[in-house]
Amino acid sequence: MIKVRALTHMLVGVVLATTGLAGADEVRDQQWHLRFLDIPSAHKISDGSGVTVAVIDSGVDLHPDLAGNVLPGTEIAANGSDGRSDLTGHGTGMAGIIAAHGQGATGILGIAPKAKILPIAVDLNNDLIGQESVAKGINWARMHGAKVINISGDGNPAPDLRAAVEAAIAADIVVVAAAGNRPSSQVGFPAAYPGVVAVGATDRDGDLAATSVTGDGLVIAAPGIDIMTTRPHGRYGPGTGTSDAAAIVSGAVALVRSRFPELSAVEVVRRLTATATDKGAPGRDDQYGFGVLNLVAALTADLPPPTQATPSQSAAAPAGPDGDGSAIGIVALVVVGVVIAGFVLHVRARRHRAARGPVP
């Protein structure tokens, strides 16, 4: 079963929102992550046009700052609505972070304001059907045009969930998921599955947020503290945790896919990881993954051709039946590369000796 623990941190934001804490005329200034990511520069390059992001969550309310950006979706394991309602506010918050366009210079501005949101409402709070509904949601997104899937929650591994993730990745979809929040001690699922972009959270200084889990499945980090966003009924409120960070990365993926429509999902992820700002130990580490999201660099960098074992490719290695498999996949590809290189050198040496003839 899957229990989506990352939802709990958003409850404070929902309570604040329903008290009318912030209005449209003041929330834009509270979106500190827009300045951190230099969103004005990023939006001169890409706005997310032509990309559909599936939000598998509690549904998405038709907030004014999202008007026109929320497609008819679905509701899994419930009454069959089109996903455009939200009882908890969590899905509406994630959708706003990804694709809100605000109201002129006011309201919430999303990372990809011209992307479309495909809302898929699932029962995240019921342990008995949560795993099944999330897996069905992933499959539904795959069959209805999503190029990005955002799952701002984490839980336990499950065969159906893994199969759905693998099918989405095989269909050239970028799957982004929250790594999880403390007190959890390891990256949760589906984030821990190979090929999923597992997102950790940073604070306003770009340092690891105290709420973020760490582990060998982490791929990238993004802002995740006091992220102001949309709430149901036209309201606003902040949230903290890897849920918000995952939504930011999903928005970033939408910008990259819009800017480079010819790139495969693997190459889109490579752009994010290769241009991330390195933090912590050099290279990939358990606190920041490959680094902190550098959005403008991801949209502008001139990257060399991919090698046999780029981070995104190695993350696509098959997982074990219940484990995450990310680190195993990376190590396996490295070992295979070394073996192949050794074999090639051995063959070349034998050919060279044969050309020279026998040694006198």
Active site residues: 57, 90, 243
Can you tell me the distance from the alpha carbon of 256 to that of 335, in angstroms, rounded to the nearest whole number? Answer: 31
Neighbours of 19 (CB within 10 A): 9
By the 8 A CB rule, do 191 and 152 touch?
Answer: no
What burial class does residue 349 get, using C-beta atoms within 10 Å of its C-beta: 0-12 exposed, 13-18 middle, 19+ buried?
Answer: exposed
Can you tell me the distance from the alpha carbon of 197 to that of 218, in angstroms, rounded to the nearest whole number? Answer: 8
Q: Which of 251, 252, 219, 223 is nearest to 239 (CA)?
A: 223
By the 8 A CB rule, do 290 and 248 touch?
Answer: no
DSSP 128-181: TTHHHHHHHHHHHHHHTT-SEEEE---B---HHHHHHHHHHHHTT-EEEEE--B
Q: In 276-325, which residue ranges form alpha helices assigned H by DSSP?
A: 295-300, 311-314
Q: In the chain, which residue ranges form alpha helices assigned H by DSSP?
A: 11-18, 24-27, 32-36, 39-43, 90-99, 130-143, 159-170, 242-259, 265-275, 295-300, 311-314, 326-356
For the chain, the straight-line distance linking the first and the last C-alpha, in angstroms and rounded, comes to 70
Q: Which of 233, 249, 303 is nearest to 98 (CA)?
A: 249
